[in-house]
Structure 1
Amino acid sequence: MARTDPVFNLRMPLDMKDELAERAKRNGRSLNAEILQILEDSIAAEKTGFPAGDARELRRVIQMQNELIDGQKEMVSKLAETFSLAISKISNLSDQEREIEKATENKKTT
């Protein structure tokens, strides 16, 4: 904030000031910066019709969904690998079965 910004004195209940100070500490901001952030979030929510708290919650949900999707992609990849291996083994068994049938037919003809 520049020194040319207007100064505004604000009265508030002591318990609210304490809560704001704790919140500011958690967020790594000064009390003044925290109050400004709350006001900015409120104004932005009013303009967009989308509360900032809801946006944060949606980002958290989206992150969780992305993690689930990544896990599912990994699972699908492993299943595809297992399926490919199973098909390969079945193909080998079919080849062996044909060889046995040929050998059996050759013995019958001799």
Structure 2
Amino acid sequence: MARTDPQVNVRMPADLKGRLEDAASESGRSVTGEIVHRLESTFPKTLDWLRHNRAEEVHTLRVAVDQQVQRVSALKATGLLQQHDLLELGRRRLLLQTLESDAHMLEMMDDVRPDELIDFAEVGATPPISMEAHRNAKKAGT
């Protein structure tokens, strides 16, 4: 947040302020950042917001994967590599792959035809696993 953002003064019970401070500390945010994060999470998410947020998550996770790769390499070189280090790298890479796939789908959302979106929106219908599966089923006539 920039210093040019408007300021808002809020009164709150001391115990709530303490819980906010604890949560901010745990998440690595400032108290203001924690309040903004929690308020933002209560508003409906627009497609643009989702795209931006997912892109930030992908970037953050890429950095975490790179750091874990460096850690694993260093531990391997010293003969101190343990299974939990590899497991953590595997988890991070798997999560990164999932987030990148989500980010790609969000970017492709503008290319989805209105009739396809209506098919996805039908109440009671089981949505296809992916847009590709949906298009293939339509071509096959199922």
Q: Whose Rg is larger?
A: 1
Bigger relative contact order (CA 8 A; separation at least 6): 2
More helix by share: 1
Whether the TM-score (by the shorter chain) exceeds 0.5 is no
User: TM-score, with normalisation over the residues of structure 1?
Assistant: 0.39
